[in-house]
Structure 1
Amino acid sequence: MSNNILISNKGPVLSVVVPAYNESVGIEKALTEIISILFSCKVDWEIIVVDDGSKDDTYQKVCRLAQFEPRIKAISLSRNFGKEGAIFAGLEHATGEAVITIDADLQHPPVLIPDLLEKWQQGVQIVHAVKRARSQESMEKKARAYCINKLISGLGGININNSSDYKLLDAEIVDIIIHQLPERERFYRGLTSWLGFKEEYVYFDVDTRQGDKSKWSFLALLELAITALTSFTVLPLRIVTILGITTLVLGITVASEAIWSLFTGQAVSGFATTIICLLIIGSFIMISLGIIGEYIAKIYEEVKQRPLYLMKASVGFDERIAEKSLNSEYKRSAMR
């Protein structure tokens, strides 16, 4: 990289989006490390911390840091909208020619930022940071992540094995995500893989998490997996058809046995067989209704057209821009 600082006439060259939820313990250390790496990159930069409705003083700590470093900006959401909403809020406010999304717990090592930036300067529009090793994670978490990644990759048709939300996106890609992908139920990792364009990968080892334990429970990961599947494939709906065909084959088999027994003068198979068939058919029906229900629920969320986030406060942004961003979701909804 050049020793000269790369400066854009339009704004910062690089925006770093940091979603944060209850990260009071480690947010100052995380931002300090990110800033030290950004200084070494020799580019004009900004950091946008999106406080996703934290119950601690995460936002207040970021605001204090912003008083000493004006390139640190902060957004406080009105409640916890989830990581997907927080990332979208950061992308919508980012003004850089390239945008990096990185977690606030330092499990995404900031030292990788120069590598991401170098790939972008070579013309790559999407740079994915992929987990090479999870040595710092428990066996339970590794197994959980492995199963969910395989489920989404296998059924969803997108490769997210060991992928993360640690990515660099060109401004053109950010614009596409914000303005051309209108869905409300978002899966950031999947969307960036689905887009295509020129992409490359860099690999990292997961670092020790700073602060308290992870916010991701098994149920939260399962909900994320369901969102990913229903967003990128209709294969689960086809499973309903497969279950129906299986039930039909089972019914024909049992009916054939009953008819054969009747014509040969044997006793017709009775209670146990009937109960087993009813249990199997009932299970298939309930599973099918559950799968269909998940898709209907996602349709319901989409048609409501509620904003992905609501912002209650911000620091470091032009007042006009902040007000415009606050109402942008409502304005887009009114124009549809």
Structure 2
Amino acid sequence: MSIIVPVYNEAAHLFESANKILSVIKPLVEMCEVLFVDDGSTDESWAVIGKLQEADTCFKGVRLSRRFGKELALCAGLERARGELIVVMDADLQHPPELLPEMLRLQREEHFDVVEAVKKTRGIDAQTSAGSASLFYKLFHQLAGFQLEGATDYKLITRRVLDAWLTMPERNVFYRGMSAWLGFKRAEIEFDVSPRVAGASGWSRFSILKLAVNSITSFSSLPLHFITLLGCLFMVFSVCLGALTLYYKLVGTAVSGFTTVILLQLIIGSMVMIGLGAVGT
């Protein structure tokens, strides 16, 4: 089993988190690796990872050259995972390791390919962003067709799911959405989000907004269809305006120059919008 743990400035509690994860998983599997991916931490996280590797061969570390963001750090870990079963979880213990035995049971006994932990409650740290998160998930559901309300990155997946995921050529990575798109036989386990053992979230409001926009535009073609529709409406309007202008010209009441410029802009703009929508889809 491979456990992927993205890390960003988690030095204060990384020893505690690592030992707790290992204490839960070791009795359950014959072989395991806990792979920490340091996403350009500016504290002593990488030094702590080095000490963990010296203490137990199950611990492994990957250090990125700079901060790429959690999604890409997670990708780096998944690409290096060697286990037949793979788990992704956070380093701050808000994803409780105590769920791992039940995740393994569901996979082994009922042969689920994906066992995902779903938030029953968001926890104290996330209450302030609950409204915006709910709005995002509703928009994502309407536009992309996938229900991710309460979804987390905390999942157990099989090797065949990971192999399928690795073939996806996405540049804007959204692990929750991509794993949902893949399908496979799935099960859910609800959990209450625990308070952080230490530190604060590495997500800024801008990075969350950027992830939300990238996720929606990457998983839905509706914005492109909207641009095409808008281009068609502008084209119809320009044809109507052109007919009206021709009528005014014939009756001798047309204003020279001004209407022609507007018509040209409308026609060219609508053609560009229709072309962008067609090429994009």
TM-score range, shorter chain: 0.7 to 0.9
Q: Look up the SS of the partner of 1:164 in the other structure.
A: strand
User: Counterpart of 2:137?
Assistant: 149
Instruction: Tell me the distance in 2 between the aligned counterparts of 1:45 and 1:139.
Output: 35
Asked if structure 2 preserves the Cα contact closer than 8 Å seen for 1:148 and 1:222, the reply is no
Instruction: Tell me the distance in 2 between the aligned counterparts of 1:135 and 1:71.
Output: 30
One-letter amino acid of the structure 1 residue matched with residue 50 of structure 2: C
Unaligned stretches of 5+ residues in structure 2:
246-261
What percentage of residue pairs aligned between the two structures are identical?
36
The superposition leaves residues 55-101 of structure 1 with CA deviations (integer Å, 9 ceiling, x where unpaired) of 11101101112211111111111111111211111111111110000
User: Counterpart of 1:231?
Assistant: 218
Matches within 5 A, 1:47-62: 47-62=34-49
Asked if structure 2 preserves the Cα contact closer than 8 Å seen for 1:19 and 1:83, the reply is yes
Matches within 5 A, 1:153-168: 153-168=141-156
One-letter amino acid of the structure 2 residue matched with residue 161 of structure 1: E
The superposition leaves residues 134-193 of structure 1 with CA deviations (integer Å, 9 ceiling, x where unpaired) of 132354211121112222222122221111110011011111222x21222211111110
One-letter amino acid of the structure 2 residue matched with residue 101 of structure 1: V
Whose RCO is larger (CA < 8 A, sep 6+)?
1
Unaligned stretches of 5+ residues in structure 1:
1-13, 259-277, 297-336
* Deviation of 1:221 (Å): 1.4
Cα 1:237/1:209, change in 2 over 3 Å: same
Q: Look up the SS of the partner of 1:207 in the other structure.
A: coil
Instruction: Tell me the distance in 1 between the aligned counterparts of 2:193 and 2:242.
Output: 57
* Deviation of 1:40 (Å): 4.0
Q: Look up the SS of the partner of 1:74 in the other structure.
A: strand
The superposition leaves residues 10-64 of structure 1 with CA deviations (integer Å, 9 ceiling, x where unpaired) of xxxx111100111111211111211121134254321000101111110110111
User: Counterpart of 1:102?
Assistant: 89
Q: 2:189 aligns with which of 163, 188, 202?
A: 202
Asked if structure 2 preserves the Cα contact closer than 8 Å seen for 1:158 and 1:190, the reply is yes
* Deviation of 1:109 (Å): 1.1
User: Counterpart of 2:33?
Assistant: 46
User: Counterpart of 1:172?
Assistant: 160
Asked if structure 1 preserves the Cα contact closer than 8 Å seen for 2:123 and 2:195, the reply is no
Instruction: Tell me the distance in 2 between the aligned counterparts of 1:132 and 1:243.
Output: 40
Matches within 5 A, 1:216-295: 216-244=203-231
Asked if structure 2 preserves the Cα contact closer than 8 Å seen for 1:116 and 1:168, the reply is yes
Q: TM-score, normalised by structure 2?
A: 0.81
One-letter amino acid of the structure 2 residue matched with residue 168 of structure 1: L
One-letter amino acid of the structure 1 residue matched with residue 143 of structure 2: L
Instruction: Tell me the distance in 1 between the aligned counterparts of 2:95 and 2:195.
Output: 9
Instruction: Tell me the distance in 1 between the aligned counterparts of 2:26 and 2:133.
Output: 34
CA RMSD across the alignment:
3.3
Cα 1:134/1:238, change in 2 over 3 Å: same
One-letter amino acid of the structure 1 residue matched with residue 155 of structure 2: K
Q: Find out whether 1:33 has 2:17 as its counterpart.
A: no
Aligned residue-pair number: 266
Instruction: Tell me the distance in 1 between the aligned counterparts of 2:237 and 2:22.
Output: 64
* Deviation of 1:111 (Å): 0.8
Mean Cα deviation higher: 152-161 or 136-145: 136-145
* Deviation of 1:243 (Å): 3.5
* Deviation of 1:102 (Å): 0.1
Mean Cα deviation higher: 42-51 or 105-114: 42-51
Q: TM-score, normalised by structure 1?
A: 0.69
Instruction: Tell me the distance in 2 between the aligned counterparts of 1:253 and 1:201.
Output: 55
User: Counterpart of 2:121?
Assistant: 133
Mean Cα deviation higher: 62-71 or 209-218: 209-218
The superposition leaves residues 259-293 of structure 1 with CA deviations (integer Å, 9 ceiling, x where unpaired) of xxxxxxxxxxxxxxxxxxx9xx99xx8xx98xx69
Instruction: Tell me the distance in 1 between the aligned counterparts of 2:146 and 2:104.
Output: 24
